[in-house]
Amino acid sequence: MGHLIETDGPGGAERLVANLIGVAADRGARNVAFLPAGGEGWLTRELRLMGITVEHVPVDGYRRTIDALEKGFRHHHVAVAHSHEFEMAVCGTFAARRTGAGHVITMHGGRFYAASWPRRLALRLAATHSGAMVAVCPEGADALRRDLWLPRRRVLTVPNGVGAPDLSHPAPLRADLGLSESEPLIVAVGNLYPVKGHRYLIEALSLLRERHPRAHVAIIGRGALHEPLAALACARGVADRVHLLGFRPDVGSVLAAADVFAMPSLSEGLPLALLEAMRAGLPIVASDVGGIRSVLANGEAGQLVAPGDPQDLATALDWILSQPGVAAGLGARAEARVIEEYDFDHTAESYGSLYAALLPAGAVYRTR
């Protein structure tokens, strides 16, 4: 099995790749990951700790990437390759065609591939010459079919999934931040990029100053916006109540310390962070983008707000913070829904079936 992704940081897509590789290894498959040369190194370290072979390929030109992937496929006898996101989808398709490997594409989130006609055409070509193209939510599948002029049968939906959170080492987050149990803590998880909308959460907190003067926001994630977000918090008069925590490996434990989970994104597919917060039983306030509405059952399992609207976000947070009983009910419904519909075992079995169907004659992939 070959697993291809163009990024090497601690994001949702990268964590899904690590989880799928772990399952494939448990089921007897030999795995190699093809990651970008000069990347952040997080996924590389995680996979090597798991005993997985990692090959780094250049990502500064399609021809070089395709040639490096072809060489790697041949060297490692890759029978099925699974590519994630645009660049590896395109390059992985060419490498698989050259070597005869089966090929699966997963597109995880925003419609960045739709920025230009050449990118749309390239991804359409990849989709039509691969064994399967997968979206992580129905909304993403519809967008791919529409943007790439593909028939319905050409795009499958395999929802992301999560398991039970690891709470074996609870994070003393409230103690670290100097918070009492009576001070509301709103947690957001996502790298510090504009598309994640963290500025709107900070602005919403400032709008809650009178009704919830002791509420705090903690944001898990790293990225270039750390200083601008800190400056915004200062300008809005909430610097003492906004905590930019950077990367944390103990997300489950941090969620256990929270009262509310907020996802103010401007674009998403089916974010793992949202599913993890639901699995932790937290009440959710999230932007109505991508697959979030369907995950939250049209608002029955969490509050939906307009993206980029700090007032709408503040109103929803106020509603939850002011009604503990309502908040508890939302959290319970969210947890029940994610256990029933978005368990990682379902995700692994769906991809396992795809891998098995694309193997050459005589080869076997155990789907359970």
Domain ranges of the chain: 2-161+344-358, 173-341
Give residue for tokens 């950077």: 246
The whole-number pLDDT of residue 63 equals 95
Rounded Cα–Cα distance for residues 22 and 351 (Å): 13
The whole-number pLDDT of residue 115 equals 80
Rounded Cα–Cα distance for residues 72 and 203 (Å): 48
The whole-number pLDDT of residue 164 equals 82
249-272 core/surface letters (b: 16 or more CB in 10 A; e: else)? ebbbbbbbbbbbbbbbbbbbbbbb
The whole-number pLDDT of residue 168 equals 61
- pTM, entire model: 0.92
Residue pair 359/302 in contact (Cβ under 8 Å)? The answer is no
Give residue for tokens 């419904």: 333
Architecture of domain 2-161+344-358: 3-Layer(aba) Sandwich (3.40)
- pLDDT beneath 70: ranges in the chain: 166-171, 361-368
Residue 304: other Cβ atoms inside 10 A: 18
Rounded Cα–Cα distance for residues 153 and 131 (Å): 12
Superfamily of segment(s) 173-341: Glycogen Phosphorylase B; (3.40.50.2000)
